[in-house]
Amino acid sequence: MQKDLLTQLMGFLYSAAHYLGLGIVGVVQRILPSVKTLEMLADPIGFLGILTIFVVLVSVARKVAIVVLVAGWALIFVRIVLMAFKVG
């Protein structure tokens, strides 16, 4: 039986979060070798990492969208002014 799309998506997100969490835990353990029991926090750390990446991407995309909108309105305004003075 074929898995549905939502199950596959959730499985992918869990795997990505798990491996990201393991990577972050590995880096923390290299920096702080006295901390040995971080493996149990790999999944929550990974999910927080995924959420952080998502928030950063959304905020960057929002800023880009605002720049594109402002540029578009400015170009429309310039076109209207040029048409009003019969330049273009």
Within 32-41, residue ranges assigned H as helices are: none
| pTM exceeds 0.95 | no
Per-residue pLDDT 10s for the chain (88 aa) are 567 999 999 999 999 999 999 999 999 999 998 888 888 999 999 999 999 999 999 999 999 999 999 999 999 999 998 988 888 6
Is the torsion defined by CA of 73, 77, 83, 87 positive or negative? negative
**What residue segments make up the domains of the chain, in order of their start?**
5-84
Q: Which two tokens stand for residue 31?
A: 């920096």
**Which residues, in sequence order, are CB contacts of 39 under 8 Å at separation 6+?**
22, 25
